[in-house]
Structures are given as C-alpha cells and as structure tokens.
A and B are shown apart, each in its own frame.
Chain A
Amino acid sequence: MSIFLAMIQEAIHYGMVFLFGSTGETLIEKSGHLNLGVPGIMCLGAVGGGLGAHWAHQAGAGAAGIMVVSLLMTILLAGAGGLLYGLFTITMRCNQNVTGLTLTTFGAGVLGFWGTQMSNKGITFTEPSRIAFTSPLFFSGEVPDNWFCQLFLSYGFLVYFAILIAIIAAVVLKHTRVGLSLRAVGENPAAADAAGINVIKYKYISCVVGAAIAGIGGTFFLMDASRGTPEYIIDAMGWLAVALVIFSLWRPAIGIAGSIVFGFLYRLPYNISALTVVTLADKELIKMIPYAVTALVLIVISFFNKRETQPPASLGVPYFREDR
C-alpha cells in the first residue's frame, strides 16, 4: 500500500472528528448561537461513548450492541451539555462566549478526570474499540488490497455515519421547511417570530441536536481514530472543528471536503517523516496551516462582504421578544 493512500486514509479517519464537530456546531450557529463550548461538549461525548462502550462490552454485547449503547450514552451526555448551554444562553440570555468557554473548561476537565479514574482502575477501551468501532463496516476480515476498497470501504461505521449526517444536515438546511425556519431564526429571529416560528423551540432543538452530533465526534476520536487509547487532545481538536465551520462557510457539505483537508493537515506532521526529513519545528508550522487558512477565510469573506458567505446575522445576539 502506497504511503499516499495511507495518508489519505488517515486524513479521512481523523477528518471525521472535525466533521462531526463542525456539523454539530454549524447547526448550533445556524440558530444564532456561537457555541464555544463545542470542544467541551466533544469531551463530554467521549466520556459518554467510552462509558457506554465499556459497559456494553462488560455485559458481553456484540459489535452492534456496543455501538448502540456507546452512541446512546454519547448523545445523552453531549446532549445534556447542549441543553445546559441552551438553558444558559437561550432562556437565561447569558453571554454566549462566556457560557461556551466555561462549558469547554468543564468538559475538558471532566474528560481528563474520568480518564484518570479509568486508568487508575485499569480500564482500557482497546477491546470494544476493535470489536465495534475500527473494524471495517463492509468486510468481516481483512480489507482487499486494492486502492478502491482501501480508500473507500476500509473504515468503521462511524466514518460513514459522519458523512451521512453531514449530508443530511446539508439537505435539511437547504431543502426543507425546517431548515428554512432554522436559518430564518439565525438570520432574523424577529422576522421568524412574526412568521409564526417558535424561535425558542428551534434554538433549543438545534443546540441539543448539534451538541449530540458534536459529541459523537468525541466518541469517534476516542474509540475509532485513536483506537481506544485515551489521548487528552479532544478539546484541541474541538477548536479545529470550530475553525472548520468558518472554513466551510457554514455549509456542512463543504465541511465534508474541508474535514478531509483538515484531517490531512492535522496528520501531515506525523506522516511527513515517511516522505522527507522535517524538523520538529517545521512540523509546528504545518500544524498552523488549518488555523491560518481559517483566519484568512474569515478576512476574505469579510472583505468581499457577500451576504451568502457571512456568519448568521444574529450570531451571538440573544433574542428577547420584548426588547423591540
């Protein structure tokens, strides 16, 4: 297998962490909420996913059982994080940045704490990860050694799930009445309200659903991308997911391609030594690319000031109907 193929495989693999995160964050931002708590929510999701997988594995469940329980727990914990964020920013109209940053602090803390507890107890996740997550979805044993199968069919369930969710999100946003209403809520909540849309309901649903999706990203990283070995960099990856939302101009479909680019760049420093000699320092410069490109995208879209590529107009502004 050529080194390039392996690199693309890895790009797709890691990219899905960003894709889950950015799809979730896009849904939240489309409702007018800048949730900087997404890295924390991804951490919470990872905690839920890990716990669920561990319990199901202990109970002797098979691959499907582990996956289902793990995802349910992910959705529960990450959704709870989203609900908490929603409670603070939608009902209580607290500052979104402040709430989000707190949630990130909290979520990353919980993940770290839980991880230590698990390793103190000698619990690892490599087994459930192997059984349910990393095993290829379309083959029971080895993946045939041709480029097509390797490139497209060699991944576990969640990779396809990530792409599926991103496509669904894109379609819902663009082609359904619900998506239209959600976009209206994020653009002009007063107009949406006047049109009979329940603004508060939409905001809550998008915060919780978005958080659940982002949470799966955390689980995916823990159980799939890092093969069950806890690495406490999920919050760092979460910030890249936030960056990816901007990079993809708030469009989940672009996010699919963007996530693979981000995944490629994210893994490039680790893979590049197989191709050429690079110093540790230069690797850091490569790591900078996703952030720098995102900053550039932000500046460029503000320069062109095209309405379609701007952040949702009411992003960060709390909605209170009586403030007219």
Chain B
Amino acid sequence: MEHTNAIELVGITKAFGTKVVANKNVSMELRQGEILALLGENGSGKTTLMNMIAGIYTPDQGKIYVRGQEVTIKSPIDAYSYHIGMIHQHFKLVDLFTAADNIILGEHFHAEPSDGQNKGAAFFKRAGKRLAFGWLKHNRVKQLQTIVDQYGFNIDLSRKIYDMSVSEKQTVEIIKALYRGAEILILDEPTAVLTPQEIDKLFAVLRRMRQDGKSIIIITHKLNEVMAISDRVCVLRKGEHIATVETAATTEKELTDMMVGQKIDLAIERKEPVNPKPRLIIKDMTALNKEGRLALDHVSFEINGGEILGIAGISGNGQRELLEGIAGLQPLVEGEAIFNNPKENKPVTFFHKDLKQIKRMAEEGFFHYPDGTRVSLKGFKNKEIVKLVNDEKILFYEDEVIDLKQKTPREIQELGIKLSFVPEDRLSMGLVGNMSIVDNMMLRGYRKGRSIFLNRRRPKQLADTIIKDLEVVTPSDMTPVRRLSGGNVQKILVGREISSSPKVLMAAYPVRGLDINSSYTIYNLLNAQKEKNVAVIFVGEDLDVLLALCDRILVLCGGKVSGVVDARKVTKEEIGLLMTTVPEEVQVYRYEQEQDKEEVPHD
C-alpha cells in the first residue's frame, strides 16, 4: 500500500552547474514509523538529497511523494506544512534567547499536524495553539518545560543557547521541529559532534519518537550506529542509489562494500620512496575544536621525507585540527611536532642563522669541515667566519631538530622551516579572493627583504610560470582569483605552496570539486614533490585515490588514530572499517631517539 510510505522519492536528479551531478536518478522510500539510515561517503550526495525534501533545493528531475501525495517543496516553511522537519549540522538558533524562546520563535508554522493518531504531536500542537498569540506568557518556559519533560527530553528550557553544549542545542532543534508539528524528521549527521554518552541519549530519544509513529531519516557514516539504531539502511555512492536493505539482514562488512564500491584502478604513478627518513614527528597531539570539544586525542605518527602519507577519515574527525596544529594555526592542549630539518652535510648559511648563533652552534659541535673534521671557531675573527660560511666550508653534522609546538605561522616561517599548507577552504584561508593571481603569489613571501615596498616582479614571474606550467585558464595574471573556476584556483594555490620548495607539504582535500584533468595535474605535482624528498601529507576523501597515490595511510576516527596501514597492501574495505571504528585504546607513541638529541638553539 502506498500510504505506508511517509516519503517516496522517484528518480531524483540534481546537478549544480554543468559539471557536478550531486544526485543521479535516486529512488528511495521512507516507511511510516521507521528509522532509516542514509549511509555514504563524503560527497555521495546524502545531504543534497535530504535538502530537497527539506525545501532547501528543488530537484531538477524526479518526483517527491509525501504520504502518497505528489508534492513540490519550495522552502523549509513549505516542508513544515507537510510535517517534514530537518535538523541541519549547523544549528539555526538565536544564541541570546532561551531554549524555550527559540522553540516558539516564528509565526508561520502550521500547528495543524496529525490526523489525531499521534499522541506526541498532539501535545505539541496544543502547546503551539496556547502560545501562538502575540503576548508571550511569563510562564511559557514552564508550560513548554512540562510538555518536554513529559516527552522525556532531559533539558532545561530556561537556559540560553550560548550556555548550551552542542548536544543540548541539537535537542532544542529536535524539540523545535516537533513543536512545529514535524512527523517526518531528518537528521543530518547528528552524531558527528556528540560524545558516546550523548549519542546513546539521542538514540533513546529517536526510538521514543519512532514509538510515537514518527518517521526518521538519520544521515551517518558510522556503521556501528547504523546497526544500533536503524530499521533499514539506504546506501548512496557518488550520487547514486546503491541499495536499501533491512538492517537486521546485513552486516557491517556488506555495508562497507556497498559504501566504498569496487576498487577502481586510477593508474596514478607511484614510485618507491627513496631514502625515507623521519621528517616530521607528531607526538600526542591533542587539540580542541571551535566548540571546545576534543578534536584530536593524542595523535602520534611520523612522516618520512620522500613519501606521501595519506590521511583517511570521515571529514570532521580531526583532519582540520591536525593540519592546522602542525601549521601553528591551532593551539594545542598537548603534544609536539618535531621537525627534522635535513641539514646533514649541507653548508650553514646566513639566511636563517646569524653570526652569534653560528658561533654558539660551532661550540656545541654542530658543524664539520668538508674534510670531516669538527669545526671550532674559537679564536677566529668575525670576518674569517663570514668568509668560511660564505664559501660553504662549514657543514652540518646532522639534521637540525626543531619543535614546532606553539609556534605561530610567522615564527615557523622565520625559522626557515619550509612548511607548505594547502588548506581545505581555499578562498577563505589560503587565498584572498578579491586579489589578483600575482598578489596572491606574494602572500607567503612578501615579507622578505628589508624594503618597505612590495616586489611584484618575482611573484609575477611565478604567477606566469604557474599559469603556463599548470595550464591555468585565466584571462590574465591580474585576474582576481575569485573569478577563476575551482580547479584553476586550486592549481594557483598548490602551485604557490610548492614553489617555495617545501620540506613538508600538507594538502587538505586538494582535488575536491576538481575535474579529472585538474585532479591528475595535482597528483602529478604531489608525486613530483615526493621525488624531491619532500614529506607529503595528503588528506583525501576518495579511497581509490588514497590507495593509488599514497605510500602509507593514516586513518583518523573520532580524533584518534585508528590505524596506519601500507597503501600498497591494504584493501578499501579495511580502510572503510577503520574509518568507522573509534579505537578503544590510544597507542602512546614514543620517539626513542629524542633523548639523544639536544634541542638546537634558535630565535
């Protein structure tokens, strides 16, 4: 019978622009009174699909049926009139108001839900009618509180939103949706921001709502949650519907297979790392995210020069904090990032060390002459030392070790640590959208030199080289980067970051939103860096790419390292499982050689 379906989608297609097809001919249904899990990797089109039900987007093709009736949903308000409520990842709440005021905010909601069959909604309906007139009652909080308590939510509605934790805010959003008469609830990755205890509470609430006859779609990546809460699972991959199965009749392994699909050979060239030596050693890195929640939990690993380390994980599992932590943009609660500056048998220069430092380091035995004898500068005149240095006669014995912990990006830059970083949001962090390509080239190096004026000659040369070598499509090198397409913007950014011949290159989702050709350009650039003995960190979402490009893959889950695997041997499914399993025990990593080395004085 048609009417058992709360929602039915038939042949939904949605494209953004001409290139990106978010959903391709998707059909699925949500039954009355069930919890349906929507499963898929990042970019598989889950959120877009749900946004079409919630009235944020309208589909290009296809039909939506609500309770058997074909509908067009043009706005979120429209969705509420069909009793559909969506809880987005970014909450739409007024921080300054109490929870109660947020719930009753707005005037256009239709407090006419249900056909009388639904107890829970009737509660909220009555409450809505009682409070829906202009005068705000003094005891509105109390009235609402009674209803909410009866329903089993454990929340104090008289508190202000800014005082609340993420989980409480989420509860407020759920109550808000119910108060507006939602019978069908869509939750977009509700567990991503919650602790295990909070997740349990949320699931209890969801089960209670199911008892009340509500139909619920929950978007998630975590398989254990899917198994725990859902009645059925719908799997999307690259915008297409793969299958919808009964949860009881499937296994985590089967779901992973459906989610990640068959391994595709991408034919990305991969050479064996040459002379890999630890370049960057991360120890117990722990950091909080914007909301003050633990985003990185004692993450430890090392990366060698001359290899590409892939970082896999569902987005929001600490990747951003990890990279920003290394780059000095994210304050660390704990942990260190040790940088091994490869200096062995390389001459010391005045570029990053002044005379005083060189003298001191010589006393501490850091240098040797080309013939291998130890350098002692006692009794030398300054002039003579300068000559020796300039003639490249003084060489390092071993690599220079620098701790990046709690250093600002500028300090890191001034120490001469060639750390390049291609951040995730290119136009709000790595580049300035309204500036020309040339001016964006200067961002990293404009400070160089004593002149108070900018030198645009070299950035211009660099811009022109990048435009030519990477085949950037642009009217000119003076075009604001905002006007370029995504792929060209990324080429500009990656090109600039590589141009400083880095020792460590970090790239977060560098091929996101790029077409195939641009993506391969980026892969080749990363490979070329690897051959130059650069340590490359590649944060990616496409497992096929990670498997084909990287030498080793580190998997993050819940801010912890759930595994470091050899990319040549591992299978997609193994990574998929690691990505969705939070490790119980954190392996505390120790770097043995640390004790042997004295920290090199700098500043």
Q: Which residues of A contact B (CB under 8 A)?
A: 175-181, 183-184, 187-188, 190-192, 194-198, 307-308, 313
Return A322 CB to nearest CB of chain B, in Å. 12
Report if A196-B94 is in contact (Cβ < 8 Å); known contacts: A176-B134, A176-B136, A178-B134: no
Kindly state whether residue B101 has any CB partner on chain A within 8 Å: yes
Residues in chain A near residue B160, CB distance under 8 A: 307
A195 to B93, CA, bound (A): 9
Residues in chain A near residue B108, CB distance under 8 A: 196-198
Task: Map CB proximity to A onto B535-551 as digits: 1 under 8 Å, 0 otherwise.
Answer: 00000000000000000
Residues in chain A near residue B133, CB distance under 8 A: 177
Residues in chain A near residue B454, CB distance under 8 A: none
Q: Is the CB of A196 within 8 A of B96?
A: no
Q: Is the CB of B93 within 8 A of A191?
A: yes
Q: Is the CB of B136 within 8 A of A177?
A: yes
Kindly state whether residue B80 has any CB partner on chain A within 8 Å: yes
A106 to B160, CA, bound (A): 42
Kindly state whether residue B162 has any CB partner on chain A within 8 Å: yes
With a 10 A CB-CB cut-off, give which of B92, B105, B135 has the most chain A CB atoms. Answer: B105
30 interchain pairs, CB-CB under 8 A:
A177-B107, A177-B133, A178-B134, A179-B136, A180-B101, A183-B94, A183-B97, A184-B105, A187-B96, A188-B92, A188-B94, A188-B95, A191-B92, A191-B102, A191-B105, A192-B94, A194-B92, A195-B92, A195-B105, A195-B109, A196-B77, A196-B107, A196-B108, A197-B106, A197-B108, A307-B96, A307-B160, A307-B162, A308-B96, A313-B96
Given A176-B134, A177-B132, A183-B96, 12 more contacts at CB 8 Å? A176-B136, A177-B133, A177-B134, A177-B135, A181-B107, A183-B94, A184-B94, A188-B92, A191-B105, A195-B106, A308-B96, A313-B96
Residues in chain A near residue B101, CB distance under 8 A: 180
Residues in chain A near residue B106, CB distance under 8 A: 181, 192, 195-197
Residues in chain B near residue A195, CB distance under 8 A: 92, 105-106, 109
Residues in chain A near residue B135, CB distance under 8 A: 175-177
Kindly state whether residue B76 has any CB partner on chain A within 8 Å: yes
Return B136 CB to nearest CB of chain A, in Å. 5
Residues in chain A near residue B132, CB distance under 8 A: 177
A249 to B428, CA, bound (A): 34
Return B224 CB to nearest CB of chain A, in Å. 32
Return B79 CB to nearest CB of chain A, in Å. 11
Q: Is the CB of B92 within 8 A of A180?
A: no
Task: Map CB proximity to A onto B45-65 as digits: 1 under 8 Å, 0 otherwise.
Answer: 000000000000000000000
Q: Is the CB of B95 within 8 A of A194?
A: no
Closest to A310 in B: B96
A178 to B104, CA, bound (A): 12
Residues in chain A near residue B96, CB distance under 8 A: 183, 187, 307-308, 313
A197 to B77, CA, bound (A): 10
Interface of B is mostly: loop
Q: Which residues of B contact A (CB under 8 A)?
A: 76-77, 80, 92-97, 101-102, 104-109, 132-136, 160, 162
A192 to B80, CA, bound (A): 15
Return A31 CB to nearest CB of chain B, in Å. 14
Residues in chain A near residue B76, CB distance under 8 A: 194, 196
Q: Is the CB of B162 within 8 A of A196?
A: no
Of B80, B95, B105, which is within 8 A of A313 by CB? B95
Q: Is the CB of A192 within 8 A of B136?
A: no
Closest to B135 in A: A176
Residues in chain B near residue A177, CB distance under 8 A: 104, 107, 132-136
Of A176, A178, A187, A198, which is within 8 A of B94 by CB? A187
A187 to B132, CA, bound (A): 21
Report if A180-B136 is in contact (Cβ < 8 Å); known contacts: A188-B94, A196-B77, A196-B80: yes
A196 to B128, CA, bound (A): 15
Closest to A185 in B: B94
Return A185 CB to nearest CB of chain B, in Å. 9
Return B113 CB to nearest CB of chain A, in Å. 15
A271 to B136, CA, bound (A): 44
A318 to B212, CA, bound (A): 42
Of A176, A178, A187, A192, which is within 8 A of B95 by CB? A187
Residues in chain A near residue B97, CB distance under 8 A: 180, 183-184, 187
Residues in chain B near residue A179, CB distance under 8 A: 136
A212 to B132, CA, bound (A): 29
Return A172 CB to nearest CB of chain B, in Å. 9
Return A48 CB to nearest CB of chain B, in Å. 30
Return B504 CB to nearest CB of chain A, in Å. 34
Return A207 CB to nearest CB of chain B, in Å. 20
Closest to A312 in B: B96
Residues in chain A near residue B77, CB distance under 8 A: 196
Residues in chain B near residue A187, CB distance under 8 A: 94-97
Return A177 CB to nearest CB of chain B, in Å. 5
Closest to B90 in A: A190
Q: Is the CB of B94 within 8 A of A191?
A: yes
Q: Is the CB of A180 within 8 A of B162?
A: no
Report if A181-B95 is in contact (Cβ < 8 Å); known contacts: A175-B136, A176-B135, A196-B80: no
